[in-house]
């Protein structure tokens, strides 16, 4: 009986590092480039200091119709930020993987409205990325689905 217990204990220990590696790989599954639901932007998800961020790396219409110059963050409520370019803008910030299936604790900024929302991300059944932005509680919000861009 004692030998069976020792074998079981060693077997369980042998799986622990493997499970930790699988969890880490799953946490990184969101990394890469994503096409937003409107089809007018690509967002590159990347990791910095253990958290997930996303920045605009492609715009269908990068030039302002009025000025003929690159689009600026004109809708931002902060006057100092209205002159920054939309291209390269970090719109997803501070997400952490919950160890299961969601990236939480982050925010999403919408340069079309100048508003920032609490946000979480999760994969949908078809492997699209569910992005849920909300105010206060997640029931009060909007969900969009992004598709991975294949290089």
**Out of 19-33, 66-80, 130-144, least confident range:** 19-33
Q: How far is CA 64 from CA 73, 112, 139, in A?
A: 11, 12, 34
* Mean pLDDT score, 16-38: 72
pLDDT at residue 9 tops 70: no
pLDDT band of 15, cuts 50, 70, 90: very low
* Mean pLDDT score, 18-29: 58
Residue 52: half-sphere exposure toward Cβ, Cα within 13 Å: 27
Q: CA angle at residue 95 from 92 to 98, to 5 degrees?
A: 150
Alpha-carbon torsion 137, 132, 103, 59, what sign?
Answer: negative
pLDDT band of 151, cuts 50, 70, 90: low
pTM of the model: 0.81
| Domain regions of the chain by residue span | 30-148
- For residues 110 and 118, the answer to whether their CB atoms sit within 8 Å is no
By CB atoms closer than 10 A (0-12, 13-18, 19+), residue 115 is middle
Q: Residue 23: what pLDDT?
A: 43
pLDDT tens digits, residue range 74-131?
A: 999 999 999 999 999 999 999 999 998 999 999 999 999 999 999 999 999 889 999 9
Q: How many CB atoms lie within 10 A of CB 111?
A: 19
pLDDT tens digits, residue range 36-86?
A: 999 999 999 999 999 999 999 999 999 999 999 999 999 999 999 999 999
Q: Does domain 30-148 have CATH number 2.40.128.520?
A: yes
């Amino acid at each position: 009986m004692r030998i069976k217990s020792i074998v079981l204990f060693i077997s369980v220990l042998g799986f622990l590092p493997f499970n930790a590696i699988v969890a880490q790989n799953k946490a990184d599954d969101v990394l890469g480039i994503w096409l937003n639901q409107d089809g007018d932007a690509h967002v590159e998800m990347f990791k910095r200091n253990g958290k997930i961020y996303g920045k605009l790396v492609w715009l269908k219409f990068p030039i302002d119709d009025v000025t003929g110059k690159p689009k600026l963050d004109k809708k931002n409520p902060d006057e100092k930020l209205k002159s920054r370019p939309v291209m390269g803008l970090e719109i997803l910030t501070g997400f952490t993987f919950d160890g299961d299936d969601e990236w939480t604790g982050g925010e999403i900024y919408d340069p079309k409205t100048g508003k920032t929302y609490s946000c979480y991300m999760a994969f949908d059944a078809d492997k699209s990325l569910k992005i849920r932005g909300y105010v206060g509680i997640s029931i009060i919000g909007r969900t969009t689905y992004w598709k991975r861009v294949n290089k």
